[in-house]
Amino acid sequence: MAPSEGGESLSGIRYISTRGGGDPTGFQDAVMTGLAPDGGLLIPDSIPDVRDRLEEWSGLSFADLSFEVIRLFSDIPDADLKQIIDRSYSAFRHPEVVPTVPVGGVHVMELFHGPTLAFKDVALQFLGNTFEYILERTGRHLNILAATSGDTGSAAIYSVRGREHIQIFVMHPDGKVAPVQERQMTAVLDENVHNIAIKGTFDDCQRIMKSIFEDLDFKRKYSLGAVNSVNWARVLAQIVYYFYSGLRTMKVTGASRVRFAVPTGNFGDILAGWYALRMGLPVSHLVLATNENDILARFFETGEYSLGTVYHTLSPSMDIQVASNFERYLYCRVGQDPEKISAMMQQFRETGKLAVELAEGEEVDPVFIPGVGRREDILEVIRRYHDEFNYVLDPHTAVGVHVAEQHLNPDEPMICLSTAHPAKFSAAITEATGAEVHHRILDGLLQAETRCTTLPNDVQAVRAFVVEHGQVSR
């Protein structure tokens, strides 16, 4: 397939809004747009079937597999795309990038070997290099506005720090992220990096971000871009590791299908697994594991998506009630009807709840197995894996493992996504095991200088800060 210089995807795939507004767009435009102009999320207008490629793909390196998957959705010329991908994953400390290791009765996919020791690095290294590629070709500037409950912020900052054409503004809830996560963000002193502590919750940060993006005149004037998982490129890069781990695990075990257990708060990571399944990866079930903030688990049990109290837990990156990626799944669940989605999301904004219609005895979706890991469950799992297998799980991964162990099948290997290095949550590890866990990267932050601006829980205050510090393309 010949590389294309235009906006048309090499595969013919275009990107449309879940709410039906605007014209279909190419991949590069979708990356730069982030959130659709009508407030919806951009999704591919078709999903490629790759079942006839799985055997060939099972022997590829992670970078080569990334190229094969991403090019199906991309309008970046092949030679350029390959350079972007190779540059993105050269920053990882493990030769496999995302190795999978058997531990006890599960297989742990380690997604924490990137620059900030979190799974977000896999997608954000790719996204940062893609941004730079597009901006250098167009001469434009980009102001990234992001909301984080922990790992997204540091991974996003490390992916664009020091880049000439980009300013990044990262909001986090003041005092509600793990101390080491906060230092990973605020110890980056590059001039293009702006950390903002919001006096509120993560959901408040996310609400502010979406409100600003919905002001189309402001978004255009200040060239706002998104690195949160509302950006399709994030989900796309994450699809790759489902294929990589799934195909290799089946090859090693001789199994014909696998299951994945995913600790999730914003629904982006497990959504990538759902897309991999739709593309043809042999996945029987996706085990959806939440902490006490269980809005997603409740939806897949009852069909109702309703706000609850935000609890602050041992797994703070999942302390979320409004899952920003859920709309992409819901769009397909209601028959790809943009009018219905628009009405449901409006209802959710007004009432804090929405629901899908279920026939008597009907499951919400048999692919998803929901479950909850609470504080006592997390501590027990961390302690047991440490004592029995000499393996340390971070508290988010422990949520996934706890729920996964309730749904094991000897014929279908259970792959548990390990989303962060345990040293990022050392207090929880010490509470569970009595032992300390360290990482040289994190230890080096203890005495580092930091910089952060505290702002009220107010859209106008954040807008004013972006205006003062952002760049405007001429």
Confidence (pLDDT) at 174: 94
pTM of structure: 0.92
Confidence (pLDDT) at 230: 86
Q: Is position 120 annotated as part of the catalytic site?
A: yes
Domain containing 334 equals 100-116+233-439
What confidence category does residue 152 fall into, taking pLDDT thresholds of 50, 70 and 90? confident
Residue 188 lies in a domain: no
In angstroms, what CA-CA distances link 47 with 15, 42, 144, 244, 311? 11, 13, 28, 18, 36
- Please determine, for residue 8, whether its predicted confidence score (pLDDT) is greater than 80: no
Confidence (pLDDT) at 10: 54
Q: Is 306 left (phi over 0), alpha (psi -120 to 50) or beta?
A: beta
- Please determine, for residue 7, whether its predicted confidence score (pLDDT) is greater than 60: no
Query: Any bridge partners for residue 289, and if so which?
Result: 263, 371
Residue 400 lies in a domain: yes
Residue 90 lies in a domain: no
- Please determine, for residue 248, whether its predicted confidence score (pLDDT) is greater than 90: yes
Average pLDDT over residues 25-50: 93
Residue 263 lies in a domain: yes
In angstroms, what CA-CA distances link 414 with 10, 90, 102, 235, 261? 35, 28, 10, 21, 7
Confidence (pLDDT) at 390: 97
Q: What is the pLDDT of residues 312-362, one digit of tens each?
A: 899 988 988 888 899 999 999 999 999 999 999 999 999 999 999 999 999
SS3 415: strand
Residue 172 lies in a domain: no
Residue 336 lies in a domain: yes
Top pLDDT among 463 and 148 is at 463
Around 300, how many Cα atoms within 13 Å sit in the side-chain half-sphere? 20
Residue 65 lies in a domain: no
CATH number of the domain that residue 337 is part of: 3.40.50.1100
Mean confidence (pLDDT) of the chain: 93
Q: What is the pLDDT of residues 198-236, one digit of tens each?
A: 999 988 998 999 899 889 899 989 999 888 888 999 999
d(CA 327, CA 331): 6
Q: Of these residues, 120, 176, 210, 219, which one is catalytic?
A: 120
Q: How many domains does the chain divide into?
A: 1
CA triplet 76, 80, 85: central angle to 5 degrees? 95
Residue 73 lies in a domain: no
Portion of the chain with pLDDT greater than 90, in percent: 83
d(CA 208, CA 459): 5
